[in-house]
Amino acid sequence: MLTVNAKPYEYVFDPAHTALVSIDMQHDFIADGGFGALLGNDVSLLRAIVPAVAELLAWARGAGVTIIHTREAHLPDLSDCPPAKLKRGRLTTGIGDAGPMGRILVRGEPGNDIMPEVGPLPGELVIDKPGKGAFYGTGLGDFLKEKNITHLIVCGVTTEVCVQTTLREANDRGYECLLVEETTASYFPHFKQAALDMLTAQGGIVCWSSSLAALKGATEA
């Protein structure tokens, strides 16, 4: 068992029963020319965490933690995309439409690929999720049960949307979760801070958070 100096108090986990979930580190959200940039966002804010996510992945692999990657991705016929999601935002170029990096948020398109610096290694699970959370409409829950996973370390983008949704889904399913602060980001930095405050409030109502240095410096319990 390892103990991490975290908020709101120490986070204790067994690497053998822990998974790292890297959420939506894909070109669509992070790269110039991706969906996020088309929406007018400053994608450099998300791209800035790539080195920290790469460092976290390297640590987790060395610690024997199970690695899971997610992508927000839809089938080419969009049959797994609710009409409400397609209509949301009144976008001129939206989900399924052709963009500079192929069809937006569609499986197999260049924009849907995970950034190579933080991409999966052979044998690491990649989950295509049709919603914001990693549990909805996916086999994540079954996979975690099969692996006897009880704890999740989470990173990725964006903090207040897909990351927070996944953490809330996980919390409701009984998982003990840690969000690593330098490895998550938002197009709106104050949204990230607000999400961190909400998630860890009231004694960790949803999850714990820590710095990457604190996680790497975890001590044996």
Q: What is the CA radius of gyration of the chain?
A: 17
129: annotated active-site residue:
yes
Task: Supply 188's token pair.
Answer: 């709106």
By the 10 Å C-beta count (0-12 exposed, 13-18 middle, 19+ buried), 124 is classed as middle
Q: Which of 7, 24, 177, 207 is catalytic?
A: 24
Q: Which of 28, 81, 129, 155 is catalytic?
A: 129
Q: What is the DSSP string of 12-40?
A: EE-GGGEEEEEE--BHHHHSTTSHHHHTT
Q: Which of 155, 162, 177, 207 is catalytic?
A: 162
DSSP category for residue 91:
-
* Dihedral sign for Cα atoms in the order 104, 109, 114, 115: negative
DSSP category for residue 7:
B
Report which of 133, 136, 130, 138 is spatially closest to residue 154, judged by C-alpha positions: 133
Instruction: Please work out, in degrees rounded to the nearest 5, the angle formed at the alpha carbon of residue 126 by the alpha carbons of 37 and 187.
Output: 25
197: annotated active-site residue:
no
24: annotated active-site residue:
yes
Cβ–Cβ under 8 Å, residues 112 and 102 = yes
- Residue numbers annotated as active site: 24, 129, 162
